[in-house]
A and B are shown apart, each in its own frame.
Chain A
Amino acid sequence: MEEKKDLLLSIENLNFSFDTQRGVVNAVRDLSLTIRKGETLSLVGESGCGKSVTAHSINQLNPMPPGRVDSGSIIFRGQDLLKLKKGEIEKLRGTQISMIFQEPMTALNPVFTVGSQIADVFMTHQGMSKAEAIERTIDLFKLVKIPAPERRVHSYPHQLSGGMRQRAMIAMALASPEPGLMIADEPTTALDVTIQAQILDLLNDLKKEIGMSILLITHDMGVVAEMADRVVVMYAGRKVEESDVFSIFEDPRHPYTLGLLNSLPSNPKYKGAERLEAIAGTVPDMRSIGAGCPFENRCTYATEICGKEFPGETVLDESHSVWCHNYQNVQEG
């Protein structure tokens, strides 16, 4: 394995639920993960499996109530984020943990220029003057390759294209003295593929230049292959496999990970094929998941124990773990 890089964030045994009218949703169950300095960790899984809730637990953006943390801790640079007061977490959000979303419009205020919103971050958190803050914003626009930055800082969000808005959001995320962690929740899902390629390229360049860490949430295995150093695969609120990016694609050991890869029409094994090996069935209702493995109803490897007990961790090597009773039987091909 590559040398141990410094730990930036670790989530330990997080349990997060929502109280809804139709019952309790255990959105995240017993989830642990770590992010090291300078790495991109990708969180993948189908919609509703708990990726965003996990990410939003870090900077406390989940609505509470109806959401609640049942247990767990989130250690960032030595402190437990779940124990911080509201003001403290807000400060952290502006300085050390930033977030970009699928739809930047939701995070930008339509009545202020994009530039002034970013300049605000400099003024609030670094006490800069307005003129100084605008200067720095223009610098950031250059860094994220927004053309004509002197003009664009004065644009309103709706005057920018989707790709430009996402660049502006990335600029805002970098407007901190010590950018530590960028949480990117489906950052390119709403973009066209040529624009997605530009944004992914930009994120990779910035990661190298600035050395920040990225928690990249995506449902797109292509984006994972392009970006991730390590991958956590989630299914119905649980982490089911975790590894370096190469092993996920080349030696998947969880039936769901394998099924996910086999579902991709771009999988090289389908050159000239006439059918895909789809996973049968659908994800279970998150309100009625029992103690067993949540993949059991769709899993062709399931045995009796699967319905009764969620499997413990099996460490395959230093960078690859799987949570499956029958992982030995899982083989590609």
Chain B
Amino acid sequence: MSGTKIIEVKDLKKYFTIKREGADDTKSILKAVDGVSLDVYEGEILGVVGESGCGKSTLGKTIMRLHDKTSGEVLYRGKDLFAKDPNAMKEMTLNMQMIFQDPYSSLNPRKKVSQIIGQPLDIHKIGTSEERLERVAELMDEVGLNPKFRTRYPHQFSGGQRQRIGIARALALNPEFIVCDEAVSALDVSVQAQILNLLLDLQKKYGFTYLFIAHDLSVVEFIATRILVMYLGRIVEIADKKELVGNHVHPYTQALFNAFPATDPRARETKKRIVMGDVPSPINPPTGCHFHPRCPYAVEKCRREYPPLKEVSPGHFAACWVVQNDTK
């Protein structure tokens, strides 16, 4: 992968302190994101997949500074996002936006659509009120909403339309980097397809860069240009889409692809290898490679040491001792 880096994430950790219910003052540490490093390049759609609880949203939110980090660094165009420099912060709020899964809970039910979409303009005092209204109409048009509905409230829209409202709001300040966190997951497939098309159209028109988080492999496989796979707070594999889809090497990635039902009833004749067991808790993850209790290839070393993420072919990284041929 080459090009200009928009985002650099360096050994990022985000731990939560969990108080056990009932138990007296016992606290445990939940390692939601545990040493993630990645670069996001201008113009790419970097897909993030993994099962629930593996840290996808926490990664996205920490990059957006919706969470404080525990340690590590996040740079936006080379500048430290966690530095408390007000100018840098302003630049970043203007240029980075996030779209959430549940359009309903992220939209204020008591505000008219025009207020919701125009809110970022109000906050940053951009334009006169007339100009803002005009911009709102333009944004609504851009995302496929009829501007004449601007005085309606969120509940008067369908799920897909509400997601369009969330997208319009994210576009208001002309960002260049957008984190989409399960942005189409709550939608029926026919509406999901409309929103995926919209996100792609906007990307092409404005040259957006997306960090596209989704648990649905087929969605990520379609939209992303590069894909990373997470398991229990860490990246286990990352590669260009074509390489990752055609040539994934990490046992967990293989398990994920095998588990995903093909939309072809004739494919069920070929028996696939199903990985057993549940995803372990991130509070007390297994020692060594977190995947070892479920991994059919695990060797002794896997129980002892966590494998580093290493390049296995150009631009293709995997964190697995067996793949790296380093099992001694």
Using CB atoms and an 8 Å cutoff, list the residues of chain A in contact with chain B.
Answer: 46-47, 161, 163-164, 192-198, 200-201, 219-226, 228, 245-246, 249, 259-268, 270, 274-280, 282-283
Contacts and interface: CB of A to CB of B under 8 A. Distances in A.
B261 A265 contact: no
Contacts of A201: 274
11 contacts: A193-B259, A197-B258, A197-B274, A223-B261, A261-B263, A262-B193, A263-B190, A264-B263, A265-B218, A274-B200, A280-B194
A221 B219 CA distance: 14
A221 B263 contact: yes
B225 to A, nearest CB: 11
List the 4 closest A-B pairs by CB distance, nearest first.
A222-B261, A265-B222, A278-B193, A266-B218
B188 A47 contact: yes
A163 B52 CA distance: 13
Interface stretch (B105-113, B126-134, B264-272, B305-313): B264-272
B196 A265 contact: yes
Contacts of B260: 193, 197, 222
A208 to B, nearest CB: 13
Contact of A221 (B52, B189, B256, B279): B189
B265 A263 contact: no
Given A194-B255, A260-B189, A278-B197, A267 B263 contact: yes
Determine the main DSSP class of B at the interface with A.
helix
A225 B259 contact: no
B222 A276 contact: yes
B51 interface: yes
Given A47-B188, A225-B265, A226-B268, A194 B194 contact: no
B197 A200 contact: no
Given A161-B278, A266-B262, A192 B189 contact: no
Contacts of B264: 225, 249, 268
A282 B217 contact: no
A159 B196 CA distance: 38
B162 to A, nearest CB: 11
Contacts of A246: 265-266
B101 interface: no
A276 B279 contact: no
Contacts of A200: 261
A330 to B, nearest CB: 16
B190 A260 contact: yes
Most B-side CB within 10 Å, residue of A195, A246, A265, A270:
A265
Contacts of B278: 161, 163-164, 195
A263 B258 contact: no
B35 interface: no
Contact of B262 (A225, A262, A274): A225
Interface string B267-309: 1100010111011000000000000000000000000000000
A225 B190 contact: no
Contacts of B217: 193
B190 A259 contact: yes
Interface in B89-131: none
Given A196-B259, A226-B261, A282-B158, 19 more contacts: A164-B278, A192-B279, A194-B51, A194-B255, A195-B278, A196-B261, A219-B188, A222-B261, A225-B265, A246-B266, A263-B189, A263-B190, A265-B196, A266-B221, A270-B222, A275-B200, A276-B196, A278-B194, A279-B193
Nearest to A229: B265
A47 B185 CA distance: 13
Interface string B213-241: 00101110111000000000000000000
B72 interface: no
B191 interface: yes
A194 B193 contact: no
Given A161-B278, A221-B189, A225-B268, A197 B259 contact: yes
B261 A225 contact: yes
A276 B199 CA distance: 12
B188 A222 contact: no
B324 interface: no
Contacts of A282: 158, 160-161, 191
A224 B268 CA distance: 11
Nearest to A267: B263
Nearest to A249: B265
Contacts of B160: 282
A219 B189 CA distance: 8
B6 to A, nearest CB: 22
B137 to A, nearest CB: 21
B134 to A, nearest CB: 27
Contacts of B37: none
B62 interface: no
